[in-house]
Amino acid sequence: MRWSDTSNVVWKVEIPGRGHSSPVIWGDRIWETAGLGLNTIPRAVQHGNTVLVMSGFISPALFAIRLGREGDLAGTDAIKWKANRGLAYTSSPVLHDGTLYFLTDNGMVSAVDADTGTPVYQQVRLPRPYAIKASPVAAGGMLYFPTEDGDVVVARIGASLDVVATNTLTDQSFVASPAVAGSDIFLRSRTHLFRIHD
């Protein structure tokens, strides 16, 4: 498919604020997160009839917003729950079986019940402080946390952060999020693309 400023663009809308995250499409609504602050990067996540939006920049905020509403929803019952601790600045959260997992840019992991916002665990350190830009992924009962330091930390999904492996790829730095296809994980470092198969 090809497009340009004058060809095949069905519509475009000015975004009210600055943000970098991907939108969530729900029915005839498009949810974007620029209204959360100056520099919203994490992608919004849909959970049932709720959209979960987060910003970890300057005034951290995580909101669970009921879908089907319009306009400025601040201060309304459209806000199902909210949180402001341990939020990501750059990485997007991952949703698995009703639990939302996210981490700070220095490797503190949190998990909350996506329905209620109740913490499962909060700000648990990965094996050491890390620089984090890439988003974690969930696959095969595990969470994968790629780091800028060349490690990919693997933790078992559950009620606590149970790290089962720290895999190091020497002289690598991961800022791109992993992709999972079948039983393979694809990792893109700044210099290489890896296919990992166990």
- The answer to whether residue 189 is domain-embedded is yes
Higher pLDDT, 150 or 69: 150
CA gap 177, 21 in Å, rounded: 14
Burial class (CB in 10 A: 0-12, 13-18, 19+), 164: exposed
The number of residues in the chain equals: 198
- The answer to whether residue 90 is domain-embedded is yes
- The answer to whether residue 62 is domain-embedded is yes
- The answer to whether residue 44 is domain-embedded is yes
**Structural domain for 131, as ranges:** 24-197
pLDDT tens, 27-49? 666 655 555 666 677 888 989 99
Structural domain count of the chain: 1
- The answer to whether residue 1 is domain-embedded is no
CA gap 154, 30 in Å, rounded: 33
Per-residue model confidence (pLDDT) at position 106: 95
Per-residue model confidence (pLDDT) at position 57: 76
pLDDT tens, 102-128? 999 999 999 999 999 999 999 999 999
- The answer to whether residue 5 is domain-embedded is no
Per-residue model confidence (pLDDT) at position 27: 66
Mean local confidence (pLDDT), 76-101: 93
Going through 133-189 in order, the beta strands assigned E by DSSP cover 137-139, 142-146, 151-156, 162-168, 179-181, 184-188
pLDDT tens, 156-190? 999 999 999 999 999 999 999 999 999 899 999 99
> What is the Rg, in whole angstroms, of the alpha carbon atoms belonging to the chain?
18
- The first and second tokens of residue 197, run together, are 């198969």
CA gap 133, 30 in Å, rounded: 25
Per-residue model confidence (pLDDT) at position 147: 96
- The answer to whether residue 4 is domain-embedded is no
CATH number for position 50:
2.130.10.10
145: nearest Cα among 105, 118, 96:
105
- The answer to whether residue 13 is domain-embedded is no
CA gap 127, 24 in Å, rounded: 33
Label the pairing between strands 151-156 and 162-168: antiparallel
Dihedral angle over CA of 10, 14, 17, 23, nearest 10? -10
pLDDT tens, 134-160? 999 999 999 999 999 999 999 999 999
